[in-house]
Structure 1
């Protein structure tokens, strides 16, 4: 069983990581809305993996690192679900279809959602 002090520390860390994730998500969405592809993975597999990694915006790399830390922490705390903005990004990444908007438009739509 986790002590109350340790639980409070974990909660503080979770809140801090969620804030950092949201901040990083906003930066990545702005980069994507400005034309930097990679956040939604629409071009994955169209070029060799080493090029995907080379041209992936730094904001997306940072977002993924924070997201990984957040998932691990939330799992340790017993959360079964993802942080809501992270879940929405997963949903948008999973959408398929030829009529799907491009990454910049998806990013702008997601930014609008987050502001509402």
Structure 2
């Protein structure tokens, strides 16, 4: 189970980088800032594949970590959740948030 967790964490990290690059290039949806502005069936249709893949890996990773007794999220997943939760009129747009997160990961 430990190997599966480590494999999923590596896959999540790789998928996160791809999704962040897509978002930094202008593909909205990773940070859910426009959630609710379109009907649900259109939102899911316009969500980038990289964000869908990240969500699928994340769900699997959470399930494995819960089985192992982890109560906290994988650190990059936690940071993404924090950035998604930030709201307000002065919040940077998704492409800027993605670039900021990419810069954090590089540091």
Report the TM-score when normalising by structure 2.
0.99
Question: How does 1:2-17 map onto structure 2 within 5 Å?
Answer: 10-17=1-8
In structure 2, runs of 5+ residues without a counterpart are none
The root-mean-square deviation of aligned C-alpha atoms, in Å, is: 0.3
Larger Rg over CA atoms: 1
Once residues 92 and 34 of structure 2 are traced to their aligned partners in structure 1, the CA distance between those partners, rounded to angstroms, is: 13
**Alignment partner of 2:34 out of 26, 33, 43:** 43
Structure 1 stretches of 4+ moved >6 Å: none
In structure 1, runs of 5+ residues without a counterpart are 1-9
Q: How many residues align?
A: 107
Q: Deviations over 1:43-89 (max 9, x none)?
A: 00001111100000000000000000000000000001000000000
Question: How does 1:46-65 map onto structure 2 within 5 Å?
Answer: 46-65=37-56
- What is the Cα deviation at residue 94 of structure 1? 0.2
